[in-house]
Amino acid sequence: MRQVIGRRMCQSAFSAPHVYFFTEVEMDHLLSIRDAVVPEFESKFTLRPSVNDFLIKAVALNLVEFPLLNSFLSEDEIHVFDGVNIGLAVAVPDGLVVPAIAHADELGIAEIVRQRSDLVARARSGNLRMEELERGTFTISSLAQYDVSYFTAILNPPQSGILSVGKTREQIYLEDEKVKTRHVATLGLSVDHRIVDGALAAQFLQSLKGKIERPSFTFLKI
């Protein structure tokens, strides 16, 4: 497994010129919505939604608006993937696998939770199908469960983008001359500079930030 990971990471690092972008996202509204729906989710679906499930949906919707970040380079041509399949990096003993949720832009949150739970469980037990590992068109890599504020992520070839997610932390800020607190997370976007220019990457990240900070509008259909 380490040989395969090493080979693919070297292929990505040495063949695709990476460029990185970061933004801080206020998470309080999203955390409130997630906490509010947890009891009903567990009662109705026997599933517990995570913050990652909402991020998967938000990223998928964003990729529909920015198809170049859902594309790959083949020889001298850029090809947009037929579907939006969000890969989620999962740590396993001695390595990392990236199963993907197919057509995540078309799924409700409940179905995303169901698929994510199933894929992660089977990733850790070594029971994924090859199709589930190869169908990803964009990847999310989250270290939010660790004391890691932000990090750069290497592209998962042949994809043109990957989003890194740091831990959600409390931050002090000033509003109307009053000191307040909020919860923020740093998102990092790595892109293949052969396909995606800086301005487009910044627009993608700005749009994603807006979707996460205004979840009542983004996730009207749960």
Catalytic residues: 193
Q: Are 213 and 56 in contact (CB under 8 A)?
A: no
Cis, peptide link before residue 99, omega less than 30° from 0: no
Non-local CB neighbours of 133 within 8 Å, separated by 6+ positions: 97, 98, 99, 100
As given in the structure block, the two tokens for residue 213 are 């900070």
CA distance 24 to 165: 10
Residue from 61, 78, 27 nearest 220 by CA: 61
